[in-house]
Amino acid sequence: SNAVEELQALQIQLLQREQRLAHEAVHDTLTGLPNRAWLMERLHYLIDQKHLYAVLFMDLDRFKVINDSLGHLVGDELIKQATQRITTLISPNATLARFGGDEFIILLENITDIEAAIRLARVIQTGLEAPFPILEHELFVSISIGITMGDQDYQKPEDILRDADIAMYQAKNKGRNRHDIFNPISRNQAIARLE
């Protein structure tokens, strides 16, 4: 029966490893948040549904300066602490995902209008005002947020993410620590700039 027990133990180990790999495939290793792969899946699903949702594209202001001057350990710790703080601020119908680097996305589902997204952006910005104690530093960090409503015009996750990204850059250009709602005119300006 020893061999049977060993085999069972091995099967359990393999199952756990499979579950871990499946989890890692859709989660960010540093923060444990859902990652870009999860986000694309969820957006595909939301685009098929006809419920109203919003995408908040968030970028920590001056993160690169902190990372370059104080090092990656401090940068990583800041990302972790900011994640924890934002997680405590968001409502049950919101999911925080890490898009990459210092970029985060919130999917706000089952909402009636854009006001809910604007309120959430304000709550997050206020919630990040207190400093983050990291090693011997007190770090102050603000966040720029671009908001886009998921409507019938969007057929692809890439499109709504691009527009939310454009809105986030609008917010940054207006002086950081701001939120801005996507405006189609700015998409045309962005395309004109690229060309």
Positions annotated as catalytic residues are 102
| Residue 34 to residue 23: CA distance in whole angstroms | 9
Spatial CA neighbour of 97 closest among 150, 124, 58: 58
Spatial CA neighbour of 128 closest among 96, 164, 86: 86
The total of other beta-carbon atoms located within 10 Å of residue 17's CB is 10
- Phi-psi bin for 141: left (phi > 0), alpha (psi -120 to 50), beta? beta
